[in-house]
A and B are shown apart, each in its own frame.
Chain A
């Protein structure tokens, strides 16, 4: 079993829709979590950090559920420019940073 698992999708949604991704992690010692965004043929870039108290940045909300060992990303009012692959990341012991395989999102006009 992979340390960080995500539904690969793809998720196909119309503009303006709300879409949610979940990600589970197996290592209960994982200390910090992130969502990264990766555009086609580009490098991953940090989208947002995930805190136990939840984290909101504009149309994006990330949440962490330690008891169930999952994190989530909610995108409201989807834009065409949100089309990308979203990578869930867990960080154990401070430096070991493990990525999920990514969830592909396509937003259609």
Chain B
């Protein structure tokens, strides 16, 4: 059963620490999305990639967030330094064609204290 895999599932860290979240998209999917979900803002699109190239990261705070795809099977989202306001659930999703369904991972629940 193909699925998007995210690690870690939960992360608690202290303010100022670096946080790295990882995502393995479904094999064969060449579009990868990173979303952040909070009660106040809902699901916000942070960045997305097509064939490993970043197409749009305008939703991402550039000073502390970075997203990369080192290879087709791994996407990373890094926060350095982390702040309490970064506490949220971070979802990765992947898709294989334009205008079609995005498949979500189970999310990383990040708490910055």
Contact = CB atoms under 8 A, between A and B. Distances in A.
A99 B35 CA distance: 10
B42 A97 contact: no
A20 interface: no
Given A44-B91, A94-B98, A99-B42, 6 more contacts: A43-B106, A44-B43, A91-B98, A95-B95, A97-B33, A97-B45
Interface string B37-64: 0000111010010100001100000000
A94 B48 CA distance: 12
Interface string A69-109: 00000000000000000010001001111111110000000
Q: Give the contact-size bracket for chain B.
A: 20 to 34
B104 A31 contact: no
Given A43-B91, A43-B105, A45-B104, A94 B99 contact: yes
Interface string B85-113: 00000010101001111101111000000
B31 interface: yes
Contact of A34 (B55, B98, B101): B101
A61 interface: no
A44 B104 contact: yes
A17 interface: no
Nearest to A44: B104
Nearest to B101: A46
Contacts of B55: 95-96
A102 B101 CA distance: 17
A32 interface: yes
B99 A99 contact: no
B104 to A, nearest CB: 4
Contacts of B42: 99-102
A102 B41 CA distance: 10
Question: Which 3 pairs between the two chains have the least Cβ-Cβ distance?
Answer: A101-B42, A94-B98, A43-B104
